[in-house]
Amino acid sequence: MGTALVTGATAGLGLEFVWQLATARHDVVVVARDADRLEQLAAQVRAAAGVRVEVLPADLSVPAELERVAARLAVTGEEAGDDRRPVGLLVNNAGFATAQSFVRGELAVELSALDVMVRAVLVLSHAAAGQMTSRGRGAILNVASVAALTAGGTYAAAKAYVRSFTEGLAVELRGTGVTATVLCPGFVHTEFHDRAGVDMTSVPEIGWLDAPTVVAEALAEVRRGVVISTPSVRYKAASALLRLAPRFAVRAVGKYR
Ligand SMILES: NC(=O)C1=CN([C@@H]2O[C@H](COP(=O)(O)OP(=O)(O)OC[C@H]3O[C@@H](n4cnc5c(N)ncnc54)[C@H](OP(=O)(O)O)[C@@H]3O)[C@@H](O)[C@H]2O)C=CC1
Ligand SMILES: CC(=O)[C@H](N)C(=O)O
């Protein structure tokens, strides 16, 4: 069934990707910073799903650690003495909210967000696309957000990059047997907002998606080779509105949360 590499595998959408992929009999390579949490997850997934799980702890904002993940993606399965299997699905999912104003906020936080949500997506997509096109098959799934269509500060700017980059990658990959998909969810119940200390109590339940549904829909769209995946009818409608609305109106709405 192939091997999938998931970044941000310890929580939220990434954790759900790991479980759904393992249940569908994929081996998985799990990437995040928290090595203990990754080891616990690996033990649970091996026991429950009987698939191979490789633990690859990495802080994607650190170039040397990012390189280790890129090197794993470059494995073709033909290297002498290396029994690791090539990755057939890359899920670039790791991310976090900057949760600060750009002007008064810490520059280090902004640079880290850029490294994790833009630079890592670029570097890992490059490594995966090279290996996958040489084998003539594979898929890359990059997690952006509906925020990509808003004027929501640097987080939205990073997600706009991921959306635009993935569309361009999908065009370049046409006819290679490799696909690129960008996932653009609205609010999802995960650890994302708690980690950032963002109060989301004003968002009504109708505005929320659940991770199992988002991930199941995203994986189905990857299988169909869909380029832009926006889960749920309500966020498809919101995205259509954001694309059609004049930009001054989008700016007037202000930040997305
Ligand atoms: N939740 C939401 O409302 C939405 C989320 N998204 C996007 O979905 C993706 C997943 O977020 P979500 O599941 O909600 O968030 P969570 O906070 O639940 O999970 C984030 C994951 O990213 C990992 N991570 C964070 N920083 C780094 C880093 N420097 N290096 C490696 N891994 C890192 C975390 O693991 P660890 O701490 O162990 O490193 C964790 O596994 C993100 O890209 C987010 O922007 C998009 C739209 C809506
Ligand atoms: C900005 C958010 O709260 C959210 N993670 C999103 O990307 O929609």
CA-nearest residue, atom 7 of ligand 2: 145
How much is the pLDDT for 63? 98
| Ligand 2 contact via 147 beta carbon (within 6 Å) | yes
Average pLDDT of the residues in 106-132 = 98
pLDDT for 207: 95
Give the model's pLDDT for residue 50: 97
Question: Is any atom of ligand 1 closer than 6 Å to the C-beta of 150?
Answer: no
Question: How many domains does the chain fold into?
Answer: 1
Does the pLDDT at position 257 exceed 80? Answer: no
Report ipTM for this prediction. 0.98
Residue 249 has pLDDT above 60, yes or no: yes
CA distance 213 to 187: 12
Is the CB of residue 12 below 6 angstroms from any atom belonging to ligand 2? no
> Which ligand minimizes its atom distance to the CA of 150?
2
- Segments forming the whole domain that contains residue 70: 3-253
CA of 12 to the centre of ligand 1 (A): 7
Distance 11 CA to ligand 1 centre (A): 7
d(CA 137, CA 158): 28
- Write down the pLDDT at residue 1: 58
Question: Residue 19: what pLDDT?
Answer: 98
Whole-angstrom Cα distance, residue 12 to residue 23? 17
pLDDT band at residue 80 under the 50/70/90 scheme: confident
By the 10 Å C-beta count (0-12 exposed, 13-18 middle, 19+ buried), 193 is classed as middle
Q: Give the pLDDT confidence score for residue 254 in this predicted structure.
A: 74
Indicate which CATH number applies to the domain containing 202: 3.40.50.720
DSSP 10: T
Considering the entire predicted model, what is its pTM?
Answer: 0.97
- Average pLDDT of the chain? 96
Residue 220: pLDDT over 80: yes
